[in-house]
Amino acid sequence: MSDDNKLWVQVCKAKYYPKIGFWNAKCNTSASHLWKQVNKIKHKFKEEVVWSIGDGQKAHVISQPWFRGWEVTQQVTLGERGKTVAQLYDFDTDHWKMEELQRLFNTQQVATILAEVAKPTLDPQIKDRLIWLHTKAGNYSVKEGYQRLIQLAPRNGNVEGELWKRIWGWKGVVPKVRIFMWRLLSKALPVAQNMHTRINRFSPTCQRCHEENEYEVHCFFFCHGSRAVWFGSQLGFQTQHLPLNIVEAVKQIGRNLNEEDLKVFSYTMWELWKERNEAVLHKRHFQPKAVIQKVKGWLRPIENLPQIVPQDRHISNEGRYEYHGDGWQIITDGSWDVNQAAGTAHLIYKGGMLMALGVQSGKIGDAFLVEAVALRQAIEHLKVLTGLQQESVIQFYTDCECLAIAINENDLQNIPSWKAMKEVAKIIENIKDLGRAATLIHIPRKAVQGAHLLANQARTSQTSYIGVPNLNVWPDLQHFMVLDGQVFQQVQEAPP
């Protein structure tokens, strides 16, 4: 509703609600899965949004939530279904058209419109805007929507929900593995039985043992290869007597494990799933020993990490995002593809003027590690330029939120890549060397556009360069020679 220029939105509009509007659209049996799911949930959001009236040209009178109680109308002809709010206002007299309002709405609705709805303006620059009522800026995000759905959900003691809360609190388990566990408990993994339920031509039989249908509990605990993994693992337990329900099975196992064993359990489940996929998709033998070795690889980096002493910087959230025009600003970004080709870039500004840049390319294991490497290279470059004695404010900017959280909170256990743990530990030590004036700040992608552009070029062209800005090498740099303080002012007003 707020971004209706996207192609998939236009397709849905043309196919399902070309005349009656999104909120009043119905869902027929032949509709796509996407459209069915959108319709299933949209009624929960009907009371959470409202149109902020600008020129009145976009908000429809009959089919848009432009005031409380908009759903019920009295007399509407077929030709009036596309009527906009601007058509209910007389710009010559600067008043609402009362006859039209009274014909379409009852007395209470008319009173609500007169009291609460802003008058349309003739200024075409001020557009109607859909407002999400649960944020100050009125912008919707998936996170906000999810939190609102949780608030609206009935408190019925859901077993899967309670178990998921426990799993999300497991220490030392990276977020992607915890999310994998959530998908497992939600029966959202494409095991053979789930695939058969959705697409009949898929066989429900386990492709490893060919003995039983592959439900979740069979895939992870009952199949011969999986049983061998658990018996040979550090946990060393037998699984044939576990409950047939996957939620109850995980609940029973987790009840008796300490924090270290929970990490072993989680990574074993993750590697079991990956090895199962390799065996099924590439028609090769399932290898229990390979699973056990990979699990040990997850645990080893945690044991060898240096001890990091937390830094007490006494910086408020507002102070962290304040733009210091006379200080150092360093913007970093990384670029990565599935072939592990990577590019990193950083732009070093002093007082808003571009002083130096660094661009490097190579092979790096995953996307998060690339972001960490880009930041570490920027810190090392700055230390070469300035030395360690630095009294000016130093602000490092990244669009990688989990990297900023890991470094600012000295938390190495919850980053999405165990490969990056030593890299992040090194960054924390390097930032500490720069002193209390150095901070790392998470900002949106649009604010790191220059570094993003250079990182992409480095990855695709396999180019490396460290030094002063050179427009002959990087002609696009002319757009980023001066740091735009307005971007950071906007970030300060609405931090991500």
**pTM here?**
0.48
Question: Do 23 and 93 reside in the same domain of the chain?
Answer: yes
Q: Give the pLDDT confidence of 137-169 residue by residue, as tens digits.
A: 888 888 888 888 877 776 545 555 667 777 777
Question: Do 349 and 476 reside in the same domain of the chain?
Answer: yes
Question: Do 321 and 230 reside in the same domain of the chain?
Answer: no
Question: Do 290 and 355 reside in the same domain of the chain?
Answer: no
> C-alpha 438: how far from its chain's center?
27
Domain for residue 335, yes or no? Answer: yes
Question: Do 128 and 197 reside in the same domain of the chain?
Answer: no
Domain for residue 308, yes or no? Answer: no
Question: Do 342 and 481 reside in the same domain of the chain?
Answer: yes
Domain for residue 1, yes or no? Answer: no
> Treating both helix axes as pointing N-terminal to C-terminal, what angle do 175-185 and 259-281 enclose, rounded to 10 degrees?
70
Domain for residue 474, yes or no? Answer: yes
Question: Do 381 and 481 reside in the same domain of the chain?
Answer: yes
Q: Name beta bridge partners: 49.
A: 132
Which residues have a Cβ under 8 Å from the Cβ of 291 and sit 6 or more positions away? 229, 268, 271, 272, 275
Q: What is the mean pLDDT of residues 429-445?
A: 80
Question: Do 237 and 333 reside in the same domain of the chain?
Answer: no
Question: Do 184 and 289 reside in the same domain of the chain?
Answer: yes
Separation of alpha carbons 494 and 317, rounded Å:
11
Question: Do 81 and 109 reside in the same domain of the chain?
Answer: yes
pLDDT of residue 308: 42
Question: Do 361 and 450 reside in the same domain of the chain?
Answer: yes
Of the candidates 303, 328, 347, which is a domain's last residue?
303
Of the candidates 94, 128, 150, which is a domain's last residue?
150
Q: Domain range holding 283?
A: 159-303
Number of folded domains that form the chain = 3
Separation of alpha carbons 368 and 412, rounded Å:
13
Question: Do 444 and 395 reside in the same domain of the chain?
Answer: yes
Element (H or E) spanning 442, and its range? strand 438-442
Q: Give the pLDDT confidence of 352-364 residue by residue, as tens digits.
A: 888 888 999 999 8
Q: Taking the CA of residue 426 as centre, how many other CA atoms within 13 Å lie in the half-sphere pointing to its CB?
A: 15
pLDDT tier for residue 251 given thresholds of 50, 70 and 90: confident
Domain for residue 310, yes or no? Answer: no
Which residues have a Cβ under 8 Å from the Cβ of 426 and sit 6 or more positions away? 376
Amino acid (one-letter) located at 65? P
Task: Tell me if 431 sits within 8 A of 383, measured CB to CB.
Answer: no
Q: Assess whether pLDDT exceeds 80 at residue 96.
A: yes
